[in-house]
Amino acid sequence: MSPVRIAVFGAGAWGTALALAFCAKHRVVLWGRDPEHMRTLAESRSNARYLPGVPLPGELELTADFGAAAREADLHLVVTPLAGLRAAVNDLHRFQPGTPLIWACKGLEAGTGKLPHEIVADALGPDAACGVLTGPSFAAEVARAMPTAVTLAATDPAFAKHWGQTLHQPRFRIYANSDLPGAEIGAAVKNVLAIAAGVSDGMGFGLNARAALITRGLAEIARLAEALGGRAETLMGLAGMGDLILTCTGDLSRNRRVGLALAQGKTLNEILGELGHVAEGVPTAREVVKLAARHDVRMPLCEAVDALLHSPRLGPREVVEQLLSREPKHE
């Protein structure tokens, strides 16, 4: 595949990691909204705030000029937190409409409960050339070129195949998939379940409990995905099981760290202040529970996480006791 020009929007850990992954083969510009931060990156050739110890190569362009980054790009790659996706897509449509778009945002939009592809459709219409990049991938490992495999899901299989092949790297393998809702539900709900896994581990419940939580959590993800038109087999792959296992067990997971801190008795405000990064599972928990209720899908683990995060009367032990007191059912 010939090199292309990729504009990456979002200079956090994940955006920087993806820019590094692609700049060895393609021409990449990385945009960040904070001009001072981008000047610091350009002068130090490192992103010490989000990816300490990882050098930024000279060929990676850095800018705080959104329009300059958007123009002349062959591909727009949005790697902002989900809360910034709608504004970013609207701005991209204004600066350079029709450019192929991929996003790496995970979650459900606060207030609307919409998945990322629904947010994109609001701005660009249902037939836009677009897709989501998702799967088991910690930014720190991708930035250091450690072997990783992810999914590129799009409604148009040709789009997923073309851009999957274009962006594919020897140590960053990309598998094409045509199940957009399934891939996005897997990406969103696993963050909520990672909080539950952190609580379980933080309370010393052991490896058996963690395995049960991951397995039953995967069943919850699959039920919701199928209710939204997703395919069960998608959840058995990288976008489902792979991402869930990594996020529930890996110490680099911000959502798992939220759960560990909750188990220590810290308040949510304390935890988020100390974290310094977005933990998408926190706002997503409430939206997942509301979405599941609209589709009459049972998700007791996600409901427990939502109660723990948003009910001041319930602590980790009370939430766990409520879960354990539920009537056993056929698996």
Domains and CATH numbers, the chain: 5-178 (3.40.50.720), 181-324 (1.10.1040.10)
Return the structure tokens found at 117. Answer: 């592809």
pLDDT of residue 328 exceeding 90, the answer is no
Is 190 one of the annotated active-site residues of the chain?
Answer: yes
For 16, residues 6+ apart whose C-beta sits below 8 A from its C-beta are 30, 47, 50, 51, 54, 56, 139, 143
pLDDT class of 275 with cuts at 50, 70, 90: confident
Q: Which residue has the higher pLDDT, 85 or 327?
A: 85
Answer whether 296's CB lies under 8 Å from 290's CB. no
Sign of the dihedral through C-alpha 157, 161, 167, 168 = positive
Please state, in angstroms and rounded to a whole number, the distance separating the CA atoms of residues 128 and 111. 24
Please state, in angstroms and rounded to a whole number, the distance separating the CA atoms of residues 331 and 328. 9
Residue 225: its pLDDT value, please? 97
Closest-CA residue to 82 (of 35, 115, 60, 58): 115
CA distances from 187 to 92, 103, 182 (A): 24, 12, 9
Choosing from 190, 266, 290, 329, the catalytic residue is 190
**CB-based burial, 225-252: b 16+ in 10 Å, e otherwise:** bbbeebbeebbebbbbbbbbebbbbeee
Tell me the per-residue pLDDT of 105-134, one tens digit each, with 9 for 90 and over: 999 999 999 999 999 999 999 899 999 999
pLDDT of residue 310 exceeding 90, the answer is no
Tell me the per-residue pLDDT of 220-236, one tens digit each, with 9 for 90 and over: 999 999 999 999 999 99
Answer whether 131's CB lies under 8 Å from 160's CB. yes
Average pLDDT of the chain is 94
CA triplet 253, 257, 258: central angle to 5 degrees?
120
Three-state SS for 262? helix
pLDDT of residue 155 exceeding 80, the answer is yes
Tell me the per-residue pLDDT of 53-88, one tens digit each, with 9 for 90 and over: 999 999 999 999 999 999 989 999 999 999 999 999
